Amino acid sequence: MAPRKSPSKPASQANVSKDELLAYYKDMLLIRRFEEKAGQLYGMGLIGGFCHLYIGQEAVVVGLEAAAKEGDKRVTSYRDHGHMLACGMDPNGVMAELTGREGGYSKGKGGSMHMFSKEKHFYGGHGIVGAQVPIGAGLAFSDKYKGNDNVTFAYFGDGAANQGQVYETYNMAELWDLPVIFVIENNQYAMGTSVARSTKSPSLWERGAAYGIEGEEVDGMDVLAVKEAGERAVAHCRAGKGPYILEVKTYRYRGHSMSDPAKYRTREEVQKMREERDPIEAVRSILLTGNHATEDDLKAIDKDIKSVVNASAEFAKESPEPALDELWTDIYADEIPQHTA
C-alpha cells in the first residue's frame, strides 16, 4: 500500500472550541516557561550533564496528546521535558529529576534522559539516538497482544531518521500490523547539520512507502493541524490497519543542547521563525481576534503558569539528593507481571 499525504487545515480554519484553544495555549505555555526556567537552572549549575530544551516545538506534543486517550503510550528521545508535561506529569517531579533530587520521577538517578512514569504511560527519554523507536514498537506489540485499542507514539528526530534500526522497526511494525505512530519531529538541524546537507530524500515520511506504511507531513508549528493529523493517525492504528508515520515539520529556537552555540544557522533565521511562526503566538492571536480571551485573561494565565514553574524550581532546590543506598534500588524487577486471558 502506498503512503498518502493528507493536507492539514490552517489553524484559523480548524473547528475547535474556546475551551480547547485555551487548554492548548496553557499546555504550550507551561512547556515554554518550564524550559526557560530549566535553562536558567542549568546556567546556575543546578542541572548537570546535558540539557536539551523543547522551546519552539511545543505544538507537536500538545497537538498529539490532544488526539490521545487514556492507555495510549509514548516514548521519545532526550529532548523530552515537553513530552512529560504534555502527558500530565507533575512539573515538580520533572524539575526535581532534572536537578538530580530525591523528589524526581526517577528518584534523582535518571536525570533528563531517563525519566519514566508508569501512571502516565511515559516510557522515557532515551539517550541513544533512535533506540527508542524499536522500544515503541515493542510497547505497541504489547497492546496488540492484549487485544486492546491503545496506540503508542514513538517520537524521534530528523537526525535519527537515518538510523538503520528505524527501518528494521518499520518492517516489523508493518509486518505485524502494530498500532504505533512513528512521529518524526523534524526540527531541520538534528544535532547541528541541516537536513539539506545530511539527507538526500527531502521527505522523510515517504520512506515508509518501501514497507507499505501510510503517513503524511504536517505543519508542526500549528497545534491544530498537528491535532487533526494525530486524529487521522490514531484512527488508522485503532482500526487495526498497522503503523502510521507523521513527519511533523517544526523548529527549535535553542541549540541542540545548552552547550550548543548553534553557529550553523543565523540569528536572523531564528528571529524570523519566532516572529512569524511561533506556535504559542498563533493560538494567542486566534484567542484574541476571536474574542475568546482578553489580554488581561492571557496575562493572568501566564502569571499562574509562572507560579507553577517557580514552585517546581523551589521544590527541586528543597528536595534532598538521593541517599547512597539508592544506587542499589530499581535495578531488577521485584515481580514479573503475567498476562492472563
The pLDDT, as a whole number, for residue 339 is: 65
pLDDT, mean of residues 285-303: 97
Which residue bears the cell 516489523? 172
Residue-wise pLDDT for 227-282, tens only, equals: 999 999 999 999 999 999 999 999 999 999 998 999 999 999 999 999 999 999 99
Helix (H/G/I), strand (E/B), else coil: 205:
helix
For residues 274 and 101, give the distance between their C-alpha atoms in angstroms, rounded to a whole number. Answer: 34
Largest CA distance in the chain: 59
Q: What SS3 class is residue 217?
A: strand
Q: Specify the 3-state DSSP secondary structure of 117.
A: strand
pTM, rounded to two decimals: 0.93
Residue 175 pLDDT more than 60? yes
Residue 162 is classified by DSSP as G
Cα–chain center distance at 132: 13
The span from the CA of 206 to the CA of 196, in Å, is 16
Selection from 247, 218, 217, 228 nearest residue 13 by Cα: 228
Report domain 18-305's class.
alpha beta
6 vs 76, more confident:
76
- pLDDT tens readout for residues 281-292: 999 999 999 999
Secondary structure (DSSP) of 258-321:
TT---TTS-HHHHHHHHHHH-HHHHHHHHHHHTTS--HHHHHHHHHHHHHHHHHHHHHHHHSPP
**Residue ranges per domain, the chain?**
18-305
Q: Is the pLDDT of residue 12 over 70?
A: no
CB burial class (10 A; 0-12, 13-18, 19+) of residue 177? middle
